Amino acid sequence: MARILDLVQHPNVGKEELAYREPQGGSGDFRIGSQVVVRENQAAVFVRGGKALDALGPGTHTITTANIPLLVDLIGKAFNDQSPFTAEVYFINVGDFPQVGWGTTQPLALETPGRGLGWLLLQGHGVMDIKISEPQRFATQYAIGKPIVRLADIKDRLLTMVLGELQDVIATNVPGDLMSLNRMISEVEAVTLAQLREKFEAVGVTLKAFEMKPLSAAKTTAEDLRNMGLLDLATYQGLQAADAMRDAAQNPGGVAGAGVGLGAGLGLGQMMAGAFQQQQQQTQSQPAQPETAQSKSPTTKTEIMALIDSLDMRLANGEITESAYERLVEKWQERLDEME
């Protein structure tokens, strides 16, 4: 007969340990009268046949038919107060886990209608406080069948829930620009916390607090947006063609659009290069005009709106700071208002 476990305990809880099985090798033999010692911030969950049955809180417990009734009912009542029965005990850590870090493993998408590419890809990070509040539910979700479960073992699933809800909050509650989003970080945190709590509770975990730092814009390209399903093919091809035209204008002596793909680059680049060279020859044949600051500045509403759009792109690509962006947009918006 296998050795009967007359005393079961787990006093040495490891760092970031969430669950520990006793015995470590699998099921063990217990009997009515065996003792289970449960430390503070622990719960002991009895499991048989892959099903979580009874749970004991902190204290020293002598096993009786009264404190493990579900297990007794499952096995049958033929113990005679001594007969061994087979089960596993999972010690679940129900203490607080504060300051658990999270971050964007993939960017969040913010729609920016009428600005730049129409989308910004965002990066961010923050912390959350969690606690296992339903030991049996947590054991069923994560622990049964495993000798030990640590925070790292479940973090990917928690992060998936965090990023999914945060993306939903941004898409439904936030104005279409990064500065407005970062001004309402507290509101975004509160809504995200409320929506996440139900999802965390479904796996036996309570989300006690959720915090996030201001988000930043990742470099956003048409290729990135296309890969995320945010641009349709026609829009993507149009943007690629525009890139080819820009490259041709900037490199009249080279092969523009190399690597652009979709058939737009080479022919369009050569055509634009020829047109640019012809424009240079015409300019050289004309008398030189004195260059002034006024000639470089946009003077029409169309030119000013194009300049503001270019500022959006420069901010998204990290070419200018947010403070410089705000200052320039305010300046040119005032100029637009004066033209009304």
Q: What CATH number should be reported for the domain holding residue 178?
A: 3.30.479.30
- Per-residue model confidence (pLDDT) at position 232: 54
Task: Tell me, rounded to whole angstroms, the distance of Cα 107 from its chain centroid.
Answer: 7
* Other beta carbons less than 10 A from residue 233's beta carbon: 9
Domain boundary among 181, 199, 217: 217
pLDDT in tens, the chain (340 residues): 457 888 999 999 998 999 999 999 989 999 888 999 999 999 999 999 999 999 999 999 999 889 999 988 887 764 555 568 899 999 999 999 999 999 998 888 888 877 666 777 899 999 999 999 999 999 999 999 999 999 999 999 999 999 999 999 998 887 778 888 999 999 999 999 999 999 999 999 999 999 999 999 887 666 666 666 665 555 555 556 655 665 666 676 554 444 444 334 434 344 333 434 444 454 444 444 443 333 356 778 777 777 777 776 766 666 666 666 677 777 777 777 777 6
When computed from its CA atoms, the radius of gyration of the chain, rounded to whole angstroms, is 32
Phi, psi of 194 (to 5 degrees): -65, -40
- Per-residue model confidence (pLDDT) at position 76: 74
The strand pair at 42-48 and 51-56 is best described as antiparallel
Shared-domain flag, residues 106 and 22: no
Total number of domains constituting the chain? 3
Residue 210 maps to a domain? yes
Q: Is the dihedral of CA 155, 160, 166, 170 positive or negative?
A: positive
Shared-domain flag, residues 129 and 62: no
Residue 310 maps to a domain? yes
Residue 283 maps to a domain? no
Shared-domain flag, residues 186 and 88: no
The secondary structure of 186-238 as a DSSP string is HHHHHHHHHHHHHHHHTTTEEEEEEEEPPPEEPP--HHHHHHTT-S-HHHHHH
Q: Global pTM? A: 0.67
Please choose, from the candidates 223, 219, 220, the residue with its C-alpha nearest in 3D space to the C-alpha of residue 118.
220
Residue 34 maps to a domain? yes
Range of the domain at 307: 297-340
Helix, strand or coil for residue 317?
coil
Shared-domain flag, residues 20 and 100: no
Shared-domain flag, residues 17 and 115: no
- Per-residue model confidence (pLDDT) at position 226: 64
Shared-domain flag, residues 209 and 122: yes
Shared-domain flag, residues 81 and 161: no
